[in-house]
Amino acid sequence: MSQSDRGLRRLAAGTLLVAFQGTTAPDWVLRELENGLGGVTLFGFNVADRGQVRELTTALRGAGEPVISLDEEGGDVTRLAYHVGSPYPGNAALGAVDDVELTRRVYGAIAAELAACGVNLDMAPSADVNTEADNPVIGTRSFGTDPELVARHTVAAVQGLQAAHVAACVKHFPGHGATRVDSHLAIPVVDVGMDVLRARELAPFRAAIEAGARSLMTAHVAVPVLTGDTPATLSPAALTGLLRGELGYRGVVVTDAMDMHAITQGVGLAGGAVLTLAAGADLLCLGPQPTHDDVRHIIAEIVTAVGEGRLDPARLEESAARVAALRDWFGAPREPAAEPNGVGLHAARRAVRLTGATEPLVEPLVIEVDTPPTIAVGDVPWGVGPWLPDAEIVRVEPAAADVPGLLARAASRSLVVVVKDAHRHPASQAMVSALLAARPDTTVIEMGLPVWRPASAAYIATYGAARANAQAAVELLTA
């Protein structure tokens, strides 16, 4: 391979954020980092504990200058606390409190933990305006339904993260909040005019850009008036025309995971890589599925596209310059990040809401209504069990629940029902309604968005299913 070919391959590799299985760095990742790989994205399966993550990121840094990223949003989406649940409430809870200084402190605490673990880019916050209650993938990840509220809290989150020199990655541009389809599975559509898009979806991104967000993440959503039926991730009109041109963004553009069906079932993984680079993306998050063989194939396809004139080499050089500037920012002198100080539980306590009145618990039976996890969240534990050690806790599938049997079991006992986004699951609503018909004294705890409110004696809304949210709910329940 000639020196120019090696240089081109290095440029191509420099656009990729790869993933791998396990808690130690595979040899192929270390070799690719030595050959210019852009960096890595860590997932829950890469995390055992904080010390292990620090050892992992130290090993990665020994092979290059990688961007080390993960999704740490607080709330339902966590990687550092994937096995136990986040100690921080998510955006819906912070939006419900609507105290921007609190949001800044929560994200500052998250950043302190990430910095201590060697992570330098957080794929957060979600700046999506969640105007669709039946949104299957955003929900409690959004600060709310009002663009101005979402904008001011997005800015606070960016400031909290970047004060600790952890780059924010504001997502999902140009907005995923008005969708009813999960882009992990298909291409969602935001079918509004540019006036609505500018006033609603784009307001938080405009604010984040003005606040100096170091990176933004693309969404695999189609906006017909802007992108036609093409996902924004692959659209020059979205990434170059709108984001770079109209909004004047000069930071790093990161893609959402390229292994999602919205990309792979259309143009394929390697084909999508070329198209998103041509559209204006700088770093491609490949997601958890691509293997080393896939990575090599993607790099080869990018190199081939340059040779065939389908991709301007200047685009790769432009991306390399932006990522180099980000790395320089990572390495700038900084003050040590403040250690987390219990702000997560404090925020969760401020967010939780009680309607009605609770009664002292008597041999409580707690029925947790199972809710399928989204791909973005994964199998993160949720529920009130850790905070009610003396209660009997039953996790049930709502469609198969034995309601008479559960009622018999709860006779002469306190009954507590825990749901998560019940408004999105008719089977959950039917089961809870059947229980309440016989036991109107039941307490219902909603650990998703409090859209559907049954007529129970007491109703507790947590605005999220993080560990901190659960503790705050139980404190109200047992007060």
Tell me the C-alpha distance between 185 and 265, whole Å: 9
Coarse DSSP helix, strand, coil percentages of the chain, rounded to the nearest 5 percent: 45, 15, 45
Three-class SS state of 136: coil
Q: Which two tokens stand for residue 111?
A: 């950043």
Tell me the C-alpha distance between 307 and 305, whole Å: 5
Going by DSSP bridges, is the β-strand pair 353-356/458-461 parallel, antiparallel, or unpaired? Answer: antiparallel
What does the DSSP 8-state code read for residue 18?
E
Residues in CB range of 88: below 8 A, 6 or more apart: 74, 75, 78, 106, 109, 110, 343, 344, 347, 348, 466, 468
Among residues 71, 256, 282, 370, which one is catalytic?
Answer: 256
* Tally of CA atoms within 13 A in the half-sphere of 469 that contains its CB: 33
Tell me the C-alpha distance between 85 and 218, whole Å: 26
Tell me the C-alpha distance between 240 and 280, whole Å: 6
- Residues 365, 465, 220, 319, CA torsion sign: negative
Tell me the C-alpha distance between 221 and 433, whole Å: 36
Asked about 346 being catalytic, the answer comes back as no
Going by DSSP bridges, is the β-strand pair 458-461/392-396 parallel, antiparallel, or unpaired? Answer: unpaired
3-class SS string, 332-352:
CCCCCCCCCCCHHHHHHHHHC
Within 10 angstroms of residue 471's Cβ, the number of other Cβ atoms is: 20
Tell me the C-alpha distance between 467 and 343, whole Å: 13
Tell me the C-alpha distance between 302 and 423, whole Å: 44
Asked about 256 being catalytic, the answer comes back as yes
Tell me the C-alpha distance between 137 and 184, whole Å: 9
At how many degrees (to 10) do helices 292-307 and 269-279 cross?
50
Among residues 153, 172, 176, 184, which one is catalytic?
Answer: 184
CB 109 within 8 A of CB 158: no
| Residues with active-site annotation | 184, 256
